[in-house]
Structure 1
Amino acid sequence: MTFKIGVVGLGYRIGYLMQVIGQTQKDIEFVGYVDPNPAGLGLVNGEGVPGISVDPSALKTFNPGKPFDSLEELLEKNDLDLLMVGSPNHMHLEHLRIAIKAGVKTFAEKPVVTTEAQTFELLELLQEAGNVDQVMIGLVLRYAPLYRDLIAARDSGKLGNIASIEASEHIAPYHGAFFMRDWRRNSEFSGGFMLEKCCHDLDLYQGLVGKRPKRVASFGGRRSFVPENKPDELADVYQYKPSGWNGSDKVFDSDGDIIDYQTALVEYQDGENLCFHTNMNVPDEFRRFAVIGSKGMAEGDFIRNFFKLTAAENSETLVDKSYEASNLSAHYGADEQMIEDIFNHLRNGAKLPVSILDGLEAGLTAIKLDEARLSGSVVDLTETWAKFDSYKLAKEEVA
C-alpha cells in the first residue's frame, strides 16, 4: 500500500519532516501541498537551511507533489492517508476543522491552537467526530531516547514519589532573533512564546508527573531584544536563520509583542511542583531538567545529551549515559523515532506516547501561565479542567 500524504502549511518544520519521512519510510507519496509561500520547499528539494540543525549532506531530493490553492481542493482531488498541518498556529483550528469533517487522519504541529476558546472549539469538533485518535500531535520530545529513559526510571520506582522538578529551555541568540523576525513574534499568530516554544517542555513534565496543573504563576518580559540593546552594526548571528511568512529584518526594534524570558511555577494536583525557566538569548544553550523524588534524582539535558540517575539513600549513580543523534536529526534523535512510531500507528494501529488531548492540556497550561503573568496573580485551573472534561473525551492508552 502506498501512503498518500498531503500538506497544508509547508514551512521549515514540515519540510524537514517530509525529509525524514522520505528517507525512513517505504511506499509513501507526497501528492500535494497548500501554501502560497512554501518556505520549507527547499528542504524537500534537498537544500540546507541555516538554523535547521541538520547536516546538509544528509538531505535528499523528494517530489513534494502539486501545489493546490486551498485545503478543500487538496482533499477533494486526492484520497489522502495522512494530512500534515504545518500552517501558522492561528490557522490550525480552521485547517483541523476541515480535516476532521472530511474524516482524514491528520498530524498537527504544536501548538495545536492558540487560545482557550479555540481549545474548547477543537474539543467540540473531536466530540462530534467521535474519534480523538483522528488527530495526532507533533510533540516530538515525547519520542526522545532521553525522555524515554526518564520515564523508565520513574516506572522502575527508582525515583519514588516525585516532589519537585527544576527545568529549562534556553535558546541561542540566532534562534531568539528568528522569533523576533518571524510571524511568531506576534502573539495573535503564535499564541505567545510560552505556548509556541515551551509547550513541548510543559507536556514532558505533565506526562512525567501524570497529573494536570492545579495552580500556576508566572513572571517575565523582554529585556534582551529591546531598542536600547541594538548594536550599531547587527552581527550576522541575528539574521542567520531566515524567517518565513510575514517576516521582518528587525530584531531589537521588532514590532512583535512576544517576550524573551519567563519563569513559570506550576503546582500539580497532588502537590508536586515545577519551576521552569526560558530565555531566548543564551549563548551556550541548554535544555535540562532535575527531577527530585523520594528515592532518587534524575538529571538530563536534551542539548548536551546526557542522562544521570542517582539513588537518594547512598548517592550511588544508577545510570550515567550520553546519546548520539544522526546527522539528519533536528531534535536530539527524536524526529526519526516519532516518524517511525507514527507510521507504525498508521499501518499497524500501534499506540503513540502522546495524544491530541495531551497537546491541548499542555497548551492550556501555557495559556494560563501567560494569563497569570499578565494579571500578576496565581491562576487556579480547577474550573478549566472541569470544562475540559465536560466533553467526555478519553485519552487513548499510550505506549
Structure 2
Amino acid sequence: MRKRYAICGVSNRSMKMFIGPMLKTFSNQADIVGLLDSDPRRFEVCKIKYPELAAVPEYSSEQFELMVERTKPDVIIVVGRDDTHAGYIIQALEHDLDVLSEKPMATTGDDCRRIIEAEARSKGTVTVTFNYRYAPIHSRIKEMVLEGKVGRVTSVDLNWYIDTYHGASYFKRWNRIREHSGGLSIHKSSHHFDLVNWWIGQKPKEVFAYGALNYYGTDGAMNPKKEDGRYCSTCEVKQDCSYFMRWSSRSKEVHVKDDHIGTESPVDANAPYSRYRADACIFDSEINIEDTYSANVKYDGGALLSYSVNFSLPYEGYRLAINGTKGRIETMEYHSSGRVPFPVPEQTIDYFPLFGSKETIHVVHREGGHGGGDPALLEDIFLGSDPKRAYPILSGSMDGAYSVATGEAVWRSVQENRPIRVEDVLGMNPQEQGNQEKGG
C-alpha cells in the first residue's frame, strides 16, 4: 500500500536512513510530502543531495499543524534531536496519524507515559526503529531463546564497549547536554536495553547502577589544557590531545561527522546548521553526562541483567552471555571505528547446553548499517512484516518506553544511590501498562 510520509528532522541520519532508501528502494510504497526542521539550511542540503524533493514543501519546527493540514500525510517520521521526539509524536497521534520514531522514543519516562496515553486515545500507532534487533546475529539469538535452547532465562551479562573515536564523538556534539539527549544511558543504552528486553521476553522492573564521568569533561585525565570554548578545528593544543591525534596526523585532520543533526564539515561557513558545530572540545565544563555505567536490572520473569558500558576504550564491540535453566548462549563482537590495529575474527554464537557438547553457530551476515539491520528494518516498515518470520520484531511504544525508562532508572540510581523502580519512572502501575500496551 502506498503511503504519504512527512519527515520531522531533516538530519544526516534522516537522509541516510529514510529519505535515500524511500526515494531509491521504496519509491513504489512511499511518497515524501513534507519536510519539517528548525534550520532552513538543512532543506537546502537535502534537496541538493536529492533533487527529486525540489517541489516538496518545507515547514519550520512551529508549523507541524500547518504541515499536516496542507500535506495530509499518513505517517510522520520523527528523526530530529532526541528531545524533540515526544512533541512531534504526540501531535501526530492527536491527528490519528501513524508514527515512525528514531530511538530513543523520548528522553524521559514522563514523556514516554504521555506518548503511551496519546496512543491509547488515537487511531495511530507508534513504531520505534530499533534496528539492532534486525542484525542477523541478534535475530538468531532471539530464535535460539524461542527454541528453548537455554530454557527459562535466569541471567544476562552484557558489556558494551565504545572506542575513543565513537565515544568521544558524543562529547563533541549535542549529546553531551543531558537536556538534549537524556544522557548516554538513554541515547545509547536504550538500544542495548531493548535488545535484552526483546531477547528474553521479560520486562525490566528495578535498576541499581553506578556511573561516572571518567574520561571527558574538564577533569578528564587526558585534557591538555583546562580551558572552555575550544573546537577541534581551531584548537591550539589539539596536537597534544590524544583523542584527536589517535585519528589524525599533522598533515591530515579527521573530524567527527554528526550523523544526526550536524554538517559534514565542522568549519564550513556555508553550512552553519543552526550555528551548531560537531567539533566542540570533549573536555569542556558544560558536559553534564556520564561516560561509564555499571548496572543491575531485575526483570518480571526473574531474570537478572548485569550491564556495563564504557565510552572510551581501545576498540568497539560487546560481549554477551544469556544463561538459563537448560544452557548458555555466548557471543562477542569487536572492531574499530578507524584503522583496525588487530585481527578481527568473524562473529559467531556459541551454545553450551547445561549437559552436553558446545555448538558454534555461524550466521550469514548481511550488508548494511547496524550489522545489516537497517535494510531489513526498512523492508518491514515499507513492505510490511516478513510473513516468513515466526516472531514479532518491530518495536512499539511500550518497547520504546521500557528502554528509555530503564536508561533513566540507571541515571536516577547513579544520582540517588538507591534502587529505582521502572514503573515509578514511567509513572504507571503494572495494570495501566498492561491495559495500554499495543504490541511489540
- Deviations along 1:34-83, one digit per CA (max 9) or x if unpaired, are 11337876995697xxxxxxxxxxxx875373322222222121121321
Q: CA RMSD in A?
A: 2.9
Q: Which runs of 5 or more residues in structure 1 are unaligned?
A: 48-59
**Is 1:34 the equivalent of 2:24?**
no
Counterpart contact for 2:209–2:414, Cα < 8 Å: yes
Tell me the SS of whatever aligns to 1:83. Answer: strand
Q: Alignment partner for residue 300 of structure 1, among 331, 344, 356?
A: 331
Counterpart contact for 1:84–1:107, Cα < 8 Å: yes
Q: Matched residues in 2 for 1:179 and 1:341: separation? A: 29
Q: What is the correspondence of 1:36-51 to structure 2 with a 5 Å cutoff?
A: 36-37=38-39
Q: Alignment partner for residue 320 of structure 1, among 338, 352, 361?
A: 361
- Deviations along 1:213-262, one digit per CA (max 9) or x if unpaired, are 23211111111113341244242548622342643521122522111111
- Deviations along 1:284-325, one digit per CA (max 9) or x if unpaired, are 111331112222221224656623132324552334214433
1:280 partner amino acid: F
Counterpart contact for 1:174–1:240, Cα < 8 Å: no
Q: Matched residues in 1 for 2:292 and 2:161: separation? A: 9
Q: Matched residues in 2 for 1:287 and 1:46: separation? A: 38
Q: What is the correspondence of 1:6-25 to structure 2 with a 5 Å cutoff?
A: 6-17=6-17, 18-25=19-26
Q: Matched residues in 2 for 1:71 and 1:366: separation? A: 29
Query: Match for residue 127 of structure 2?
Result: 136
Range with greater deviation from structure 2 (380-389 or 81-90): 380-389
Cα offset for 1:188? 0.8
Query: Match for residue 293 of structure 2?
Result: 262
Q: Matched residues in 1 for 2:435 and 2:334: separation? A: 35
Range with greater deviation from structure 2 (291-300 or 364-373): 291-300
Q: Which runs of 5 or more residues in structure 2 are unaligned?
A: 225-236, 249-253, 263-273, 336-345
Q: Matched residues in 1 for 2:380 and 2:45: separation? A: 22
Residues 1:152 and 1:2: Cα distance change in structure 2 (over 3 Å): closer
Residues 1:375 and 1:357: Cα distance change in structure 2 (over 3 Å): same
Residues 1:279 and 1:383: Cα distance change in structure 2 (over 3 Å): closer
Query: Match for residue 342 of structure 2?
Result: none
Counterpart contact for 1:12–1:39, Cα < 8 Å: no
2:25 partner amino acid: T
Q: Alignment partner for residue 280 of structure 2, among 241, 244, 249?
A: 249
Query: Match for residue 344 of structure 1?
Result: 383
1:249 partner amino acid: A
Tell me the SS of whatever aligns to 1:257. Answer: coil
Query: Match for residue 397 of structure 2?
Result: 356
Counterpart contact for 2:203–2:301, Cα < 8 Å: no
Residues 1:11 and 1:183: Cα distance change in structure 2 (over 3 Å): same
Q: Alignment partner for residue 189 of structure 1, among 180, 186, 191?
A: 180
Query: Match for residue 332 of structure 1?
Result: 371
Residues 1:42 and 1:272: Cα distance change in structure 2 (over 3 Å): farther
TM-score, normalised with respect to structure 2? 0.78
**Is 1:390 the equivalent of 2:392?**
no
Residues 1:36 and 1:14: Cα distance change in structure 2 (over 3 Å): same
Query: Match for residue 54 of structure 1?
Result: none
2:24 partner amino acid: Q
Query: Match for residue 419 of structure 2?
Result: 378
Counterpart contact for 1:141–1:334, Cα < 8 Å: yes
- Deviations along 1:103-149, one digit per CA (max 9) or x if unpaired, are 222101111111222222222212222x4x61111111122221210
**Is 1:81 the equivalent of 2:74?**
yes
Structure with greater Cα Rg: 2
- Deviations along 1:254-279, one digit per CA (max 9) or x if unpaired, are 52211111111111123311111111
Corresponding pairs, count = 381
Counterpart contact for 2:43–2:58, Cα < 8 Å: no
Q: Matched residues in 1 for 2:362 and 2:51: separation? A: 35
Query: Match for residue 53 of structure 1?
Result: none
Residues 1:346 and 1:337: Cα distance change in structure 2 (over 3 Å): closer
Query: Match for residue 203 of structure 1?
Result: 194
Calculate percent identity across the aligned residue pairs.
Answer: 21
Residues 1:2 and 1:122: Cα distance change in structure 2 (over 3 Å): closer
Residues 1:336 and 1:380: Cα distance change in structure 2 (over 3 Å): same
